[in-house]
Amino acid sequence: MRRVFLTLFAAFFFVSPCEAGPFDLIAREGMRGDDISHIQLLLSHLGIYKGPLDSRFGPETRLAVVSFQKWAGLPEDGVITKLVMEQIVKRARRVINNPPGRYARVLNMEATAYTSEDPGCGLYTAGGNRLRRGIVAVDPRVIPLGTRLFVSGYGHAVADDTGGAIKGNRIDLAYESRPDALKFGRRMVTVYILD
């Protein structure tokens, strides 16, 4: 009995990072949820994922994960483990403050941060998606809804929401936590139109 316990203990705690066990699985094809949309957003920051932030780990997301794994020199199985997620986050952080090499135009805009907890805001955007980081509210006459953007100090985003006070060169940046939104506050940002 003791030998079986020690074998299981060793297998659980000393598996090499390349041997993904069920205990370090974060996401795989077929899964859904806000964690998946966060992964899609990070892969979008890296320029690997071009699909919708739809919270579904479908074939398009799997192909993006495999592309990332190939690029990062990791096993190409299309599964997000703790190791893969650490690498995605590490590389995405480097990208967030570096503007893209290619863009259609640049705007200087006044930005404020908001969350679903703010008065007048709900859980869903004007485009019907769940409000989360990576979604921005714009004046559709300036930036059409559905446009992909890069916002200095914020990263890649999608114009998917509107607001009564968002007129002209103003933009609202969605955050998932009120403290993060308050930390951002209000400031001038450079917005790169990618589409």
The answer to whether 134 and 174 have CB atoms below 8 angstroms apart is yes
What sign does the dihedral 25-26-30-32 (CA atoms) show? positive
Please name each of the domains of the chain with its CATH number: 15-96 (1.10.101.10), 105-193 (2.40.40.10)
Q: What is the pLDDT along the chain (195 residues), one digit of tens a residue?
A: 444 333 333 333 333 344 445 458 899 999 998 788 889 888 887 878 878 778 899 999 999 999 999 989 999 999 999 999 999 988 887 777 677 778 889 999 999 999 888 777 788 888 888 888 889 999 999 999 999 999 988 888 999 999 888 999 999 999 888 888 888 889 999 999 986
111 bridge partner residues: 171, 187
Amino acid occupying residue 104:
A
What b/e string do you get for 16-38 counting C-beta neighbours within 10 Å, with b at 16 or more? eeeebeeebebbbeebeeeebbb
Parallel, antiparallel, or unpaired: how do β-strands 135-137 and 155-161 relate? parallel
